[in-house]
Structure 1
């Protein structure tokens, strides 16, 4: 597939709201500081009588100008302040917008593990990296790619410093509302100082999410010397029900959620597939939304990063010798202890350990895209037929996606050394 891009144009906020920003710098919390990576997504709109692909790019560009008056930080640039913190300079530089044409019919761009998927998805998202300084890259870029059939794909690259998944989805839904000419159902709440570290930072809990684990299994060598492949595994409703029962304390009833069951499974299965030594500590990380867990809860519409990483650590021998319910029990406990006190402690930990990032040695990091409401965004021609990530996960990351053709199924995307694929597949087949 060949995609021909136009030259990017800069879109600026429209209306009087564009000049009401008074502060020179937009504050980023400690939970924003550790995620200065791009979040790339694609949103697929198939050809139909309601698609209006002939003017879709124009409508999306004009409504972007409107919504930027509410989400003004996207127009700025990341800077490092004298105290070493990241902030956004409100210089109103604008958001690059690109129109593109594909020379083929709109085909499936929903399986990120499919052959050549990485190349196809890369063509659908514009990355503004011309500057030698990564800090100068745009905080949001937009590309609308029209296919021969009339369908099109909206591709976004958003700096994670500005939004977690829930905030990114809220922005997209607000954007769609402006495109339809209706008031925003929820206005963004911008004051991130609510998540500022305490005046006397106090670490009250062990924060194993940042702990470095010794690589006694030579995992670095395995990943470095073995071909690396991506696979997607579909769990239909029946398989999910069996998995949830296996992960429950009482196998005769279902006592855990789909997320807990899938997360427990991938932690155990990946530990086995990587052939970790019995004494190897295996770490699990997953995001917990803190919006309603802090006291007081964050305001409705809070826009930013409100997630913290919950962590479980187990010797590989214990993880593999015990039933799946033991792993799910550890996950439930990690979720339960992620309360106001823990979240405040995590924020203070980052304040005192400014360069701290979660260590990923011998780690499985689970990210649940199925929980994000990107698909509910309706620009005027109905919801997207698919919304999801536009890049393959890092080697430590497992993605949980919603099934494309069956809303009751889940898809798990993982990357593994070739030597571990069969072992992982066998565990899936046993369900």
Structure 2
């Protein structure tokens, strides 16, 4: 992606879009999974659409603005505001007249100017999603901010920022799909939204039944939380040849039983740890985001749009991770993922209430989230599927170096694979890229890593 691209965006004043019809005035409690400290931030998403001749005369801004008001009739909690009660309990004050923030904009570029590799980091991001002053907070601010930017070629970019306590990726895509259906002429969403946040509430009294090393309070004694200055953002492409090269580094018996996610995650965790150079005896963590919807019996309702995932942690020392064969890390990742059950989710909810809704461990942690099945790219507003849909950048809230997303991607050769944004201090990024190249070069003469950087 051409990150040197500079363009100008002209924006109208932000406006509040309220539901098109009266909606219930009520207070709705979030679940005890939703309101944990580690989800109290905004998720940025970007959806890029080409010009479609069949939509001549249709204005994407107008189509989406009208559809948004109609969609909020069904998803009216998004038009409310978060309040905090006793013991940091979050709830939505459903005041339908407030609404979500919406920005109409025009950019003086075409989609071609962005180049072939549409992937994070995106140039002029602050232009594509205007940070409306006073809107960044978690409490008493709009829960959704949407900007629709027309491009000179007739395409458009929809950017969105969601308060993460309201929904996870699956829940957000459910809302966006409903918005797309209504934009294309449906009168109501094909999947009715389900609130039911009490399904993920703690017992009374709370009882923690599982081990949750992802919430351990670890002192940052050696200053190893990643510094926020001089950060490098790059994206790496992993197609079939890159994945098979990494797979060859684990025992043949494990190759059959290990998923691509487990193998890739183990490799990235190891390369990243080597790049950050912690002391050998320091503990390092990988936190794998696991969608737990299907782990429940019966499963959570299909229209449930709250947060329904866990961050199970694998923990080892930097020395063991970097000096052992890759299969060691793969096994740790596999075991962590397998920890997530219905009881595990209830245990997390109970821990939140018992321990004051703690943040997940950030010190020497790496969070990975696979959004390949979330369906961002399938969201349609009438102009076809997105040419890119999904997270706008790596990172978690104000901690840019901690998380990576696995995003479905097709490279210039037409190969389907994943693009994975990584954010590290500049010197560590050079070491990370060198380490990753050495892994891939064992089996590939010229690794097809697409790199984009800021």
The aligned residue for residue 142 of structure 2 is 138
Deviates more, 1:257-266 or 1:366-375: 366-375
Distance 1:264 1:354 in 2: 32
Change (3 A) 1:255 1:89: same
Matching of residue 274 in structure 1 with residue 251 in structure 2: no
Change (3 A) 1:51 1:125: farther
Deviates more, 1:103-112 or 1:178-187: 103-112
Distance 2:90 2:57 in 1: 39
Distance 2:415 2:64 in 1: 27
Distance 2:250 2:172 in 1: 31
User: What's the offset of the Cα at 1:162?
Assistant: 0.9
* Secondary structure of residue in 2 paired with 1:305: coil
The aligned residue for residue 375 of structure 1 is 377
Distance 1:132 1:301 in 2: 27
Preserved CA contact (<8 Å) 1:216 1:280: no
Preserved CA contact (<8 Å) 2:34 2:306: yes
Matching of residue 45 in structure 1 with residue 45 in structure 2: no
Preserved CA contact (<8 Å) 1:197 1:351: yes
Distance 2:57 2:238 in 1: 34
RMSD: 2.1
* Secondary structure of residue in 1 paired with 2:312: strand
Deviates more, 1:73-82 or 1:235-244: 235-244
The aligned residue for residue 327 of structure 2 is 325
Preserved CA contact (<8 Å) 1:213 1:281: no
The aligned residue for residue 262 of structure 2 is 260
* Secondary structure of residue in 2 paired with 1:136: coil
Preserved CA contact (<8 Å) 2:35 2:90: yes
Matching of residue 96 in structure 1 with residue 96 in structure 2: no
Within 5 Å, give how 1:390-429 maps onto structure 2. 390-393=392-395, 394-405=400-411, 406=414, 408-429=416-437
Taking structure 2 as the reference length, what is the TM-score of the superposition?
0.87
Taking structure 1 as the reference length, what is the TM-score of the superposition?
0.91
The aligned residue for residue 444 of structure 2 is none
* Secondary structure of residue in 1 paired with 2:82: strand
Distance 1:398 1:392 in 2: 5
* Secondary structure of residue in 2 paired with 1:178: helix
The aligned residue for residue 29 of structure 2 is 27
1:360-408 C-alpha deviation (Å, 9 max, x unpaired): 0011111223332011112122111111223442111122222243462
Matching of residue 213 in structure 1 with residue 218 in structure 2: yes
Matching of residue 233 in structure 1 with residue 230 in structure 2: no
Deviates more, 1:172-181 or 1:419-428: 419-428
Distance 2:281 2:179 in 1: 50
User: What's the offset of the Cα at 1:417?
Assistant: 2.0
Preserved CA contact (<8 Å) 2:33 2:201: no
* Secondary structure of residue in 2 paired with 1:69: helix
Preserved CA contact (<8 Å) 2:410 2:416: no
Counterpart among 179, 183, 204 of residue 179 in structure 1 = 183
User: What's the offset of the Cα at 1:217?
Assistant: 5.0
1:238-279 C-alpha deviation (Å, 9 max, x unpaired): 11122234346626x433212111111111111111111110
Matching of residue 296 in structure 1 with residue 298 in structure 2: yes
Distance 1:343 1:384 in 2: 33
Change (3 A) 1:378 1:214: same
Within 5 Å, give how 1:185-196 maps onto structure 2. 185-196=190-201
Deviates more, 1:307-316 or 1:331-340: 331-340
Preserved CA contact (<8 Å) 1:375 1:386: yes
Distance 1:134 1:212 in 2: 23
1:142-181 C-alpha deviation (Å, 9 max, x unpaired): 1110111111111111111111000001111111111112
The aligned residue for residue 387 of structure 2 is 385
The aligned residue for residue 445 of structure 2 is none
Distance 1:63 1:248 in 2: 52
Within 5 Å, give how 1:58-207 maps onto structure 2. 58-92=62-96, 93-106=98-111, 107-108=113-114, 110-113=118-121, 117=123, 120-130=124-134, 135-182=139-186, 183-207=188-212
Preserved CA contact (<8 Å) 2:46 2:158: yes
Distance 2:180 2:135 in 1: 30
The aligned residue for residue 7 of structure 1 is 13
